[in-house]
Amino acid sequence: MLSRKYAKTACAAALAALSLGAQAQVSGGSVKIGVLTDLSGTYSDLAGSGAVLATRMAIDDFIANEKPNFKIEVVTADHQNKADIASNKAREWIERENVDTVTELVTTSTALAVMKVAKEKDRLVIMNGPASTPITNEQCNDVSVHYTYDTYAVANGTAKAVTTQGGKSWFFLTADYAFGHALEKDSSTVVLANGGKVVGSVRHPFPGSDFSSFLLKAQASGAQVIGLANAGADTTNAIKQAAEFGITPKQSLAGLLMFITDIHALGLKSTQGMYLTEGFYWDRTDETRAWSKRFFDKQKKMPTMVQAGQYSSIYHYLRAVKAAGTDDTSKVMAMMKKTPINDFFAKNGQIRDDGRMVHDMYLMQVKKPADSKYPWDYYTIKATIPAAEAFQPLALSRCPLIKK
């Protein structure tokens, strides 16, 4: 296809850490991490080069703090949000370059494709960018970790908050692909469970640019809340155009999956008052601020939850390799699941048997322009959603690994 034309920007860079002592039982004497992400497309701001940077920061910090006796290498590639490119790259990395773990994988379709390859080859997959719940349900496997967030968690936080505060009737504007459908489904369930009703929905082509037709339908529906079950540029354009057509503030918008980079791009004027759920906010604690400022110095943008989660998950992985004394997939996975995660990103985070990392999520409200005191001062934290409530309970799991 001529329009999908991003030149392949795959670049391989090696970060070698010299260590003098005896080598651990690590294959080839080195742990190799492959960061497979969107480096050029619609998700490259929320994951992309920032996720690569976070990976390198995690490795540098790990080497400085833990003095491992194995080398750590990184390779990176652009999967262009295409499942076939992602699975081919993962296969090449595993077969020819002996990559131990493939990480990041924004866009659900690429994640699902790579999970299959990794299972077949017995290597680890650690996912931060993709959102859909099937990753830890129907499609789950024992070599995969879904770390930062999922559609259940964000829908649960935002849809519940908006519904319980009086936004009882909903209309969904949904991106017409697997992720949008999952987000709409998860959100509708929450709306209904909290006494709301769904008066309609419309599915728009992905990616879209003009949403006015769909917004007019949403307007005609008379719903109090228009739920945006899409992401990235689709969400930002829909918000912009809703204001243009006078839909907001008469009806309110709920961005079901938004990142701080979206808020930054749109500005506070058109996003103020919106609720959203994130797994990380840079300005939450002294620890998050300290890490985020280091990130900002290099990237010139504050980190998204995906990028912060990428750092946390890679650090956790490397620690598990060191503790297990091997890069053997099942042993490292057992160690990762056994060890709780305690860092700036998560407190008492735990990886469950379905691969889901559960941790606290945060319900945010976007500040008014007048309340924003310094650059990237965008959110007020309205509530902390405890880990046990934030994610889908195991009792509802559709993952075959979970024995009931």
Partner 1 sequence: MEIFGISTALLGSQLLVGLINGSFYAILSLGLAIIFGLLNIINFAHGAQYMMGAFVAWIALTRFGINYWAALIVAPLIVGFVGVLIERLMLRRLYKLDHLYGLLLTFGLALIFEGIFRDQFGISGESYEVPELLSGGVNLGFMFLPIYRAWVIVASLTVCFGTWYMIERTKLGAYLRAGTENSAMVQALGINVPLLITFTYGYGVALAAFAGVLAAPIFQVNPLMGSNLIIVVFAVVVIGGMGSIMGSILTGLGLGLIEGLTRVIYPEASSVVVFVIMVIVLLVRPAGLFGKS
Question: What does the binding site for partner 1 look like in residue numbers (CB under 8 A)?
Answer: 2-3, 5-7, 40-46, 48, 176, 202-205, 207-210, 212-214, 216-217, 219-220, 232-233, 236-237, 240-241, 244-246, 261-262, 264-267, 270, 301
Q: How far is the CB of 245 from partner 1 (least distance, A)?
A: 6
Q: How far is the CB of 377 from partner 1 (least distance, A)?
A: 18
Closer residue to partner 1, CB minimum distance, 31 or 175:
175
Closer residue to partner 1, CB minimum distance, 138 or 176:
176
DSSP per-residue string spanning 28-58: GGEEEEEEEE-SSSTTTTTSHHHHHHHHHHH
Closer residue to partner 1, CB minimum distance, 34 or 48:
48
- Side chain identity at residue 228, one-letter code: L
Q: Give residues with Cβ within 8 angstroms of 275, minimum separation 6.
A: 158, 161, 162, 254, 255, 363, 364, 365, 366, 382
Q: Give residues with Cβ within 8 angstroms of 37, minimum separation 6.
A: 43, 44, 47, 48, 51, 52, 76, 78, 79, 104, 105, 106, 129
Q: Give residues with Cβ within 8 angstroms of 311, minimum separation 6.
A: 54, 55, 57, 58, 291, 303, 345
Q: Confirm if 59 and 318 have CB atoms less than 8 A apart.
A: yes
Among 32, 29, 8, smallest CA distance to 20 is for 29
Closer residue to partner 1, CB minimum distance, 45 or 184:
45
Q: How far is the CB of 37 from partner 1 (least distance, A)?
A: 12
How would you classify the pairing of strands 350-351 and 357-358? antiparallel
400 preceded by a cis bond (ω within 30 of 0): no
Closer residue to partner 1, CB minimum distance, 15 or 233:
233
Closer residue to partner 1, CB minimum distance, 156 or 271:
271
Q: How far is the CB of 22 from partner 1 (least distance, A)?
A: 44
Measured in whole angstroms, how far is the alpha carbon of residue 208 from the centre of its chain?
Answer: 21
Does the CA dihedral 216-165-362-279 come out positive or negative?
negative
Phi then psi dihedrals of residue 355, to 5 deg: 95, -5
Q: Confirm if 52 and 46 have CB atoms less than 8 A apart.
A: no
Q: How far is the CB of 240 from partner 1 (least distance, A)?
A: 6
Q: How far is the CB of 96 from partner 1 (least distance, A)?
A: 28
**Largest pairwise CA distance in the chain:** 70
Closer residue to partner 1, CB minimum distance, 89 or 204:
204
Q: How far is the CB of 214 from partner 1 (least distance, A)?
A: 7
Q: How far is the CB of 7 from partner 1 (least distance, A)?
A: 6
Distances (CA, A) of 32 to 12, 50, 86, 183, 393: 12, 19, 17, 33, 33
Q: Would you give the end-to-end CA distance of the chain in angstroms?
A: 46
Q: How far is the CB of 203 from partner 1 (least distance, A)?
A: 6
Closer residue to partner 1, CB minimum distance, 45 or 73:
45
Closer residue to partner 1, CB minimum distance, 55 or 251:
251
